[in-house]
Structure 1
Amino acid sequence: MGERPDIDLTRPSAARVYDYYLGGAHNFAVDREMARKAVELWPDLPLIMQANRAFLRRAVEYCVARGVRQFLDLGSGIPTVGNVHEVARRVAPDARVVYVDHDPIAVTYSRNILGDDRRTAVVQEDLRRACDVLAAPEVRGLLDFDEPIAVMMVAVLHFVPDEDRPADVVAAYRDAVPPGSHLVVSHATHEGQDAEAADSHQDLYRKRTATPMTMRSTEEVRALLAGWEPVEPGVVHLPLWRPASHEDVTDRPERFAGLAVVGRKG
C-alpha cells in the first residue's frame, strides 16, 4: 500500500469510523471499538449511514442530470464502494472529482484506491481553509472554475463547530464557483431524536475524536445555504430527499437523524 504517515492509533478518526459503518476495510481496531460503542448508544446508526450514502448517490445523479461534470468532495473520507466518481461515471464517463480530507491515513488510502485515475485527485487539507483547498494544484489542475461544479459537504459540516463559523466556510466555496454550480449537504440533527441519546452521541465524539460533533436543526442547516437556492424538496430528513421509489420512504423519517439538501447557485 505504500508507506503510511505517522498517525495516532490510540484515537479514532471520524473518516475511518464512517468507513467501518459502510463496510469498508480501511479502519483500525480503535475505530471499530468506537463505532460499536456508538451503535450501542444509537442502534439505528447503521441504517442512518446507509441512508446518508443513498442520499449521496441520488444527489450526484441529480447534479449529473443537470449537466454537472465536476465535483469537489470536501471531507470525503475514504472513497469506499459507491463513491462520487463511481456514481457520476455511470452516466457521465468524463466526470472529474477532487476528494479533500484532512485525515492523513484517509488521504493515503484514497490515493492508493484511486491509483492512476487521471480524472480524480486527492488533497490533504482542512475544508475550513477554503483558500488553501481552492488553491491546491490538484484542484486547479483538474477542475475548470468557468464551468459548474458540485461542492459536496456530505456528513461533514456537523464536524465544524459554531466558533469556526460554518456559514462562512460554505460561503467561501459559493463565492469561488460559477453560476449553475450546486451544493450537496447532509447534516446530523437532534430533531425528532431522544435528547439523551443525541447528547450521548455528541459526547462520544467530543471525548474520543479530534472532531467533535455539533447536531443542528432544520433552520440552522437552512441558514448555512445563504446564496444557494435550495431545490425541491428543500431541507428534509435523509430518506425524503427525492427518494428513488415510494418503497424508500419510511413512515418515520425522523428516525434517520440526518438532514439533506441540495442548493443551486443562480
Structure 2
Amino acid sequence: MYKVYGVSHSDLDRIDTTTAHPARRYNYWLGGKDNFAADRESGDAIAAVYPAIRTTALENRRFLRRAVRFVAEQGVRQFLDIGTGIPTADNTHEVAQAIAPESRIVYVDNDPIVLTHARALLTSTPEGATAYIDADLRDVDGILAHPDLRRTLDLDRPVAVMLIAIVHFLFDDDRPYETVRRLLDPLPSGSCLVLTHGTSDLASPEVRAHAEAEMRAGRLRFDAMPRTKEQVAEFFTGLELVDPGIVPIIDWRPTVPEADRPPVTDVAMYGAVARKP
C-alpha cells in the first residue's frame, strides 16, 4: 500500500487515489515513486499509444532548466511556477538561484502531495525566497491575490510566469487564452512567459492513427488537449518571442548536438519563451 507521509488529515481527504492526476502520472513517467495505481494505469495506457511519452517528460524537464537559466541570465529575479509537479532534480528555484541567489520563486499546484513535497524539499537560498500556494491555474485572481505570493513577489518588477506542460489540461471551455492573458496583464514590461504545450503535430502518422483508433474504441481517453503550433502561438499574442520562437522543446536553445537528441517524433511538445514589451 502507498503511504503518504507528512500530509495532514484534511489534505488526505482531498487526495483521490482512484483517479489519475497529471502531476503524479508525470512523476511515474520520470521514474518517481510518488504515484498511485490509477496514475500508473493511465500512464501505461498513454505509453501504449505513444511509447515516447517518457522521453517527452524528460525533455520537458531539460527545457525547463534551459529556459529558467536563460531568463535568469537576462536579469529576471522573480518566477511564478504554476503546475509545479512533484519536485525532482533542478527545480525552478535551484536553477535560478544558482545564477542569482536572490531570486524569488512562488510555486503553485493543486495536488496536496505536490505541496507537501514542495514544502519539505524546495528550500531557498538565504538571499532569496520560495513560497508554495495550493491553487488551480483556473483561479487566476486567487493566485495573484494570495498573501504568500504578495509577500514573496513584487508585481511591480518583472516576473517569469512558468507554465510547463500544464496549459494543455485546459480545454476550450476553460478559456485557456484568457487565463494566460489574465496572468500576464498585471505584470510589468520585461516579464516573461515560459510555456510548453503538448501537440500531435510532431507525431508520426502511425502514432496518430493508433491513438485515434484507441479513442474510437473507448480504450483511451486523454485528459489533455493537444494543440497545433498555430493554436499554441495564440498564447503569445502581444508578446515578443525569443529566438528560436515556438519550436519542439528539443530544438529550443539546445545544449547537446543534434545527433545526440531524440528524434522530433519522440517529443510531442512545443516550447517557447517570450517577453512582455
TM-score normalized by structure 2?
Answer: 0.87
Per the TM alignment, residue 104 of structure 1 is displaced from its structure 2 partner at its CA by 2.4
Is it true that 1:84 corresponds to 2:95 in the alignment?
no
| Aligned-partner Cα distance in 2 for 1:225–1:40 | 33
SS of the residue corresponding to residue 245 of structure 2 reads coil
Deviations 1:55-111 (A, max 9, x none): 101100010010011100011112221210111122111111111011222222222
Aligned to 2:129: 119
Aligned to 2:237: 226
Deviations 1:207-232 (A, max 9, x none): xxxxx200000000001111211111
Q: Which runs of 5+ in 1 are unaligned?
A: 207-211
What secondary structure does 1:39 align onto? helix
The CA distance in 2 between the partners of 1:49 and 1:264, in whole Å, is 25
Shift of 1:176: 1.6
1:11 aligns with 2:43: no
Say if 1:74 and 1:152, in contact at 8 Å, map to a contact too: yes
TM-score (norm 1): 0.91
Please tell me the residue identity of whatever aligns with 1:67.
G
| CA displacement at 1:22 relative to structure 2 | 1.9
**Pair 1:192 & 2:202 matched:** yes
How many residue pairs match? The answer is 261
Q: CA RMSD in A?
A: 2.1
| In structure 1, C-alpha distance between the alignment counterparts of 2:75 and 2:237, rounded to whole Å | 23
Residues 27-46 of structure 1 mapped to structure 2, 5 A cutoff: 27-46=35-54
Q: Deviations over 1:94-130 (max 9, x none)?
A: 1111110112222222222236877111101111111
One-letter identity of the residue aligned with 1:86: E
Letter in 1 for 2:6: G
For 1:230, the aligned partner's letter is L
- Cα pair 1:239 1:248 within 8 Å, conserved: no
Residues 229, 264 of structure 1: 8 Å contact kept: yes
8 Å Cα contact 2:202-2:264 kept in structure 1: no
CA distance in structure 1 between the partners assigned to 2:19 and 2:118 by the alignment: 20
Aligned with residue 174 of structure 1, among 184, 187, 204: 184
Kindly indicate whether residue 33 of structure 2 is the aligned counterpart of residue 25 of structure 1: yes
Q: Structure 2: how far apart are the matches of 1:173 and 1:126? A: 13
- Residue 203 of structure 1 and its aligned partner are, at CA, apart by 7.4
Partners of 2:135 and 2:142 within 8 A in 1: yes
Separation in 2, partners of 1:185, 1:192:
17
Aligned partners of 1:83, 1:9: CA distance in 2, in Å?
Answer: 25
Percent identity of paired positions between Structure 1 and Structure 2: 41
**CA offset at residue 245 of structure 1?**
3.0
- Give the match for residue 209 of structure 1: none
Q: Which has the larger radius of gyration?
A: 2
Q: Distance in 1 between matches of 2:233 and 2:123?
A: 37
**Residue 147 of structure 1, CA deviation:** 1.3
Tell me which residue corresponds to 1:57: 65
Q: Secondary structure of 2:227's match? A: coil
Pair 47,116 (structure 1): closer, same or farther in 2 beyond 3 Å = closer
Of stretches 115-124 and 155-164 in structure 1, the one that deviates more from structure 2 is: 115-124
Q: Deviations over 1:22-57 (max 9, x none)?
A: 233322232223222322221111111111111101
Q: Distance in 2 between matches of 1:122 and 1:16?
A: 18
Distance 1:248 1:105, change over 3 A: farther
- Counterpart pick for 1:99 among 107, 128, 140: 107
